[in-house]
Amino acid sequence: MQWIAYALLALVAALHFYFMVLEMFFWTQPLGRKAFGLTPEFAQASKVLAANQGLYNGFLSAGLVWGLSQGRAGEPVQLFFLGCVLVAGVFGAATVSRKILYVQALPAALGLAAVLLAH
């Protein structure tokens, strides 16, 4: 069960690293606009906000990698950062798009469950 928890942690970390890259570097480019369904005008007007949001996603990814690098001793760190991702995903689903529930919150919830069950 431990390897499932680690795989889910790595998946959530990779997703948030990808979100960081999209938001910080590709927000106004075709890849970023397509991923988030943005018009060129909105993407340009909101690029500073997106970069800030991307930075936070990078912190989430780094925290998950940090927890993962500590193995079982990192469980408190893993649970904290997975909890942060879950709350952000639920909030995003409620305020932006239900899709966020499946892309962000669900993997975090599965990761939380796996870490707790592997304990």
pLDDT of residue 44: 97
Mean pLDDT in consecutive groups of 10 residues from the start of the chain, 119 residues: 94 98 97 95 97 97 98 97 97 95 97 94
pLDDT of residue 1: 81
How crowded is residue 95: how many other Cβ atoms within 10 Å of its Cβ?
8
Angle of helix 2-25 relative to helix 75-95, nearest 10 degrees, comes to: 50
d(CA 16, CA 57): 5
Contact 57, 76 (CB under 8 A): no
